Amino acid sequence: MKKVRVRFAPSPTGGLHLGGVRTALFNYLFAHQHKGTFVLRVEDTDQSRFVEGAEQYIWDCLDWCGILPDEAPLLPGDTGPYRQSERKEIYMQYAKQLVDSGHAYYAFDTTKEIEDLRDSLKAQGESEWQYGFHTRHRMRNSLTLPKAETDALLGANFPHVIRLKVEGNEFVRFTDMIRGEIEMSTNTVDDKVLMKADGMPTYHLAVVVDDYLMKITNSFRGEEWLPSAPVHVLLWKYFGWEKEMPEWAHLPLILKPDGNGKLSKRDGERLGFPVFAMQWKDASGNTIDGFKELGFLHEAFINMLALLGWNDGTEQEIFSLQELVDKFSMDRVHSHGAKFDFEKAKWFNHEWIKKSGMQRLAPDVKEIFRKNNIAISDEKKFEQVIELVKDRCTLLTDFVEQAKFFFVAPAEIETSAILPKWNSDKNQFFAELISLYSRMKLWDLVDIEHAFKELAGASRLKPGELMLPFRVFLVGGKFGPGVFDIASMIGKEETIKRITFGMTGLK
């Protein structure tokens, strides 16, 4: 039975971004493929960084994507609590266990002391300094101080942290499901802080303790964690839990489209595309739209995300969530990052809109119409309109431009498109067309077109030259589906009304 978990650290700077959703997605796919469990944890380690409502927001995003976890802060399971702040005592207990077994120690050096030391060494030309194997004997900690003094400091509640004692001159080896065997020297691993002075754990301690307690079998996270993986492997070893250590997989990074670095929350604004799944209100009250608000179908969003760093080796690019569950495999995930391409993301959405039926599209389009104050007079007509125009909509919001005129007469007519070629013959034609159409008893697509072309022939005018003005009268510009489809759909009275109105604008 597989069990995976994803952790998110809500912060005032941002909502759930592309990389976060993709990590959640891969966890979801893997868990469901193995009929396992998918757990979500929220890291509120530092109260100053925690944002109220962030859990709900993450939940809503995953809900929209259709990849809700089986256990989460908002849906507790057997291994809660899921908020880090509610687990403080647990972490402290395990940290002390490590001190007792000689794999960790108390350190009393203040942040300022360490910073000063770094600065002075830098001034002397020493490039980098790390608290670790080579330096810990010169610092103020329970390893260098007499036991009585350590106890006194601890008793007086002197600010201190607990650091991992990394043994030097060893090699840490572990297997990454994507990259294979990885080996690193412990000499480059520093003595990471495990418990902070405020009594909260760091990620390093929390992730290991939680994964052990929650019986996590597979740990997937971003590639940025690869350099600290040895710390975690060492922790599993020092705790004596080696046999229960999860399999690791470090997911490739999502990079900026214009190169140079991983995609960040600010890039969206800079380059004009969303980086969040859903709208996010930041700490200063600004709202930033996500893929949902921009008009993405969640099917397209997760499809696009899954293909960013993975493919099944065939030419297939469009996958439903179920197909992804069936076909996903971690060993086909790439070991290198991919630049995010918004054009390709839109292509996925276009494909999904084309492939989705009216039933799927109608509720979303209705919501968008409501926001744009477009009243849907006729349900049946609305459904037909969706089928008629969906091929030309890349985003759901495109339905406004492509379908609005079926329900609301255009407020403005793009006369500049027809004015240069407008003449009295054409004026005459449309005047006659109005009376011809008014006399029609049935308003049938074939008859509308037939009558139009017949009259054009009788007037010795080319139908082609007349169809553009007709189109512009009906929709307001040079766009939309076939003109006669539109006329048939909006009805006889409305067609005549729009021609009449359009002609007055040309005088």
In the complex with RNA, the residue whose CB is nearer, 52 or 315, is 315
Q: Quote helix, strand, coil % in the chain, to nearest 5.
A: 50, 15, 35
Of residues 124, 157, 260, 284, which one binds RNA by CB under 7 A? 260
Q: Which residues contact 446 (CB under 8 A, 6 or more apart)?
A: none
Of residues 121, 463, 497, 506, which one binds RNA by CB under 7 A? 463
Of residues 30, 471, 473, 488, which one binds RNA by CB under 7 A? 471
Of residues 34, 83, 265, 392, which one binds RNA by CB under 7 A? 392
Q: Does 127 bind RNA (CB under 7 A)?
A: yes
In the complex with RNA, the residue whose CB is nearer, 59 or 131, is 131
Residues 211 to 240: which contact RNA by CB under 7 A?
A: 223-228
Q: Does 261 bind RNA (CB under 7 A)?
A: yes
For the question of residue 265 being annotated catalytic, the response is: yes
Tokens of 136: 């810990």
- Among candidate residues 262, 265, 492, 497, the one labeled active-site is 265
Task: Identify the burial level of 289 via C-beta atoms within 10 angstroms of its C-beta, where 0-12 means exposed, 13-18 middle and 19 or more buried.
Answer: middle
Residues 289 to 308: which contact RNA by CB under 7 A?
A: 307-308
Provide the 8-state DSSP code for 41.
Answer: E
Of residues 196, 265, 366, 381, which one binds RNA by CB under 7 A? 196
Q: How far is the CB of 123 from RNA (least distance, A)?
A: 16
Tokens of 282: 């930041």
Helix (H) / strand (E) containing 145: none
C-alpha 472/C-alpha 505 separation (Å) is 11
Provide the 8-state DSSP code for 144.
Answer: T
Q: Does 422 bind RNA (CB under 7 A)?
A: no
Residues 29 to 88: which contact RNA by CB under 7 A?
A: 43, 45-46, 49
Q: How far is the CB of 35 from RNA (least distance, A)?
A: 26
DSSP secondary structure of 65-113: HT---SBBTTB--TT---BGGGGHHHHHHHHHHHHHTTSEEEE---HHH
Of residues 121, 325, 468, 506, which one binds RNA by CB under 7 A? 468
Provide the 8-state DSSP code for 502.
Answer: H
In the complex with RNA, the residue whose CB is nearer, 338 or 375, is 338
In the complex with RNA, the residue whose CB is nearer, 149 or 379, is 149
User: For helices 463-475 and 492-504, what crossing angle results, to 10°?
Assistant: 100
C-alpha 333/C-alpha 400 separation (Å) is 38
Residues 311 to 370: which contact RNA by CB under 7 A?
A: 311, 313, 315, 317, 332, 334-339, 341, 343-344, 347, 350, 354
Q: How far is the CB of 330 from RNA (least distance, A)?
A: 13
Number of alpha carbons in the 13 Å side-chain half-sphere of residue 423: 5
Of residues 119, 149, 151, 198, which one binds RNA by CB under 7 A? 198
Residues labelled catalytic: 265
